[in-house]
Homo-oligomer: A and B are copies of this chain.
Amino acid sequence: MTTASEELLRLDNQVCFALHATSRAFDATYRPLLRDLGLTYPQYLAMLALWEHGTLTVKELGLALRLDSGTLSPLLKRLEAAGLVRRERSPQDERSVVVTLTAQGEALREKAVNVPRRILASTGLSERELIELRRSLERVTAALDAATTEATPRP
């Protein structure tokens, strides 16, 4: 194997590791801010989606957040226990569970409004850099998705 390709493989490991580490670093930055709201980061993501759309089925929430019911069901139950959402079977289609914000869940939005600003400051990135980073991440994710679905033989 040439030195160049060894370097490339090393670089690949570094990128995967860095991604892992950055993701956890963001988590650690969000944690204290969200603690005041009584939310974890994934719960905050679910609330963001609900604040935007008002009401969503578990299925729709899963598509938006790229999470399956094994993750969402207990998460939503915790949000329900906290009084932030209601979960009810859809009368139209009894298979679906509709998640709706409670008044308390709506109200939390006001307290959450200054979270992104504080996170933004912590990243130390300019708008230009954020856009570039987002573009890279979305591109990698799309490529990885394509690679994994293509590897899976479809029925």
Interface residues of chain A, those whose CB is within 8 Å of chain B, are 8-26, 28-30, 32, 41, 45, 48, 66, 116-117, 119-125, 127, 129-134, 136-141, 143-148, 151
Number of this chain's copies in the assembly equals 2
Q: Point out the residues of chain B lying under 8 angstroms from A19, CB to CB.
A: 19, 22-23, 26, 137
CA distance A10 to B32 in the complex (A): 20
- Nearest Cβ in chain B — how far from A39, in angstroms? 14
A97 CA / B124 CA spacing, docked (Å): 37
- A10: B residues at CB distance < 8 A: 116
Q: Which B residues are in CB contact (< 8 Å) with A145?
A: 25
CB <8 Å contact, A116 and B13: yes
A153 to B117, CA, bound (A): 22
Say yes or no: B12 contacts A123, CB within 8 Å.
Answer: yes
Identify which of B130, B139, B151 contacts A12 (C-beta below 8 A): B130
Chain B residues within an 8 Å CB radius of A140: 22, 25-26, 123-125, 133
CB pair A120 B8 closer than 8 Å? yes
Cross-chain contact B8 with A66 (CB below 8 angstroms): no
Assuming A26-B19, A137-B22, is B143 touching A125 (CB within 8 A)?
A: yes
Q: Which residue of B lies closest to A18 (CB)?
A: B137
- 13 new A-B contacts, CB < 8 A, other than A8-B120, A29-B147, are A11-B130, A12-B116, A12-B120, A12-B123, A14-B134, A16-B41, A22-B138, A24-B66, A25-B148, A26-B144, A32-B151, A124-B146, A125-B139
